[in-house]
Amino acid sequence: MVDSCFRCGAELGTPPALCASCGAVQPFRADLSLFAVAGLPETYDLDVQALRTQVLALQKGLHPDRFANAAPAARRYSLEWSTRLNEALAILRDPLRRADYLLQRQGVDALGEQVKVADPELLMTQMMYRERLEDLVAARNLSGMEVLRQEVDTAMTGVVQRLKGLLGGLPCVEPEAAGAALRELQFLDKLLGEIGRSEESSQNV
């Protein structure tokens, strides 16, 4: 189905936000996925640079600054589109949140509170990593933290590669495996944040 402009009836492109023919900002479409709002195909293996370029190009036309003197309805549509574009960029550019979003789209809540982390191997790895970080913090060992950070970084790249495989075809046919990978990625992501904070506070002392 092709959308048409609510004002002049011309065909709209993707996303159906601005009419190329008469320039009218279209009523916001809450039913569109984050991918559709950004005018991109739904896929996990996403070029983040291309996503950013695309979203910013759309923001240039849809940002409320462009409708400062427009009618209230147009200002509201612009706000809604612009808000949703910021959300799309924030979620889709992050490999963790992007995977979570895709799984949620097929009804899988892999990071929800109800999910029990049952993988004993992951629990062991978590404990070992945390103990290492605690020791490094106690020793104010900045170069050791850097080594750990690179290790975690590499591990994350590995998990993202695995997710690319698991989420290669959508909907995902192995949601349990994807969910487990997602939880592993979430743990590594949190650990990376902690390493960053530890490095910062060790430097600032």
Cβ atoms of residues 50 and 41 within 8 Å: no
Q: Binding to other proteins by residue 69, rule CB under 8 A?
A: no
Q: Binding to other proteins by residue 204, rule CB under 8 A?
A: yes
Gyration radius (Cα) of the chain, Å = 21
* Least distance (Å) between residue 9 CB and other proteins: 29
Q: Binding to other proteins by residue 60, rule CB under 8 A?
A: yes
- Residue 171: asked if its preceding bond is cis (omega within 30°), the reply is yes
Q: Please report, as a single letter, which amino acid is at residue 173.
A: V
Q: Which of 59, 125, 126, 141 forms a contact with other proteins (CB under 8 A)?
A: 59
Count CB-CB contacts under 10 A for residue 25.
Answer: 25
| Residue 88 or 172 with smaller CB distance to other proteins | 88
What are the CA-CA distances from residue 200 to residues 39, 126, 145, 203 (Å)?
A: 38, 22, 11, 5
Long-range contacts of 7-10 (CB under 8 A, 24+ apart): none
* Least distance (Å) between residue 130 CB and other proteins: 16
Q: Binding to other proteins by residue 50, rule CB under 8 A?
A: no
Q: Which of 20, 57, 71, 173 forms a contact with other proteins (CB under 8 A)?
A: 57
Q: Binding to other proteins by residue 53, rule CB under 8 A?
A: yes
Q: Binding to other proteins by residue 86, rule CB under 8 A?
A: yes
| Residue 23 or 196 with smaller CB distance to other proteins | 196
| Residue 26 or 82 with smaller CB distance to other proteins | 82
Rounded Cα distance, 36 and 34, in Å: 5
The first and second tokens of residue 14, run together, are 């993707």
- What are residue 18's phi and psi, to 5 degrees? -120, 140
Q: Binding to other proteins by residue 134, rule CB under 8 A?
A: no
Question: Contact positions toward other proteins, by CB under 8 A?
Answer: 52-53, 56-57, 59-60, 63-66, 79, 82-83, 86-87, 89-90, 196-197, 200-201, 203-204
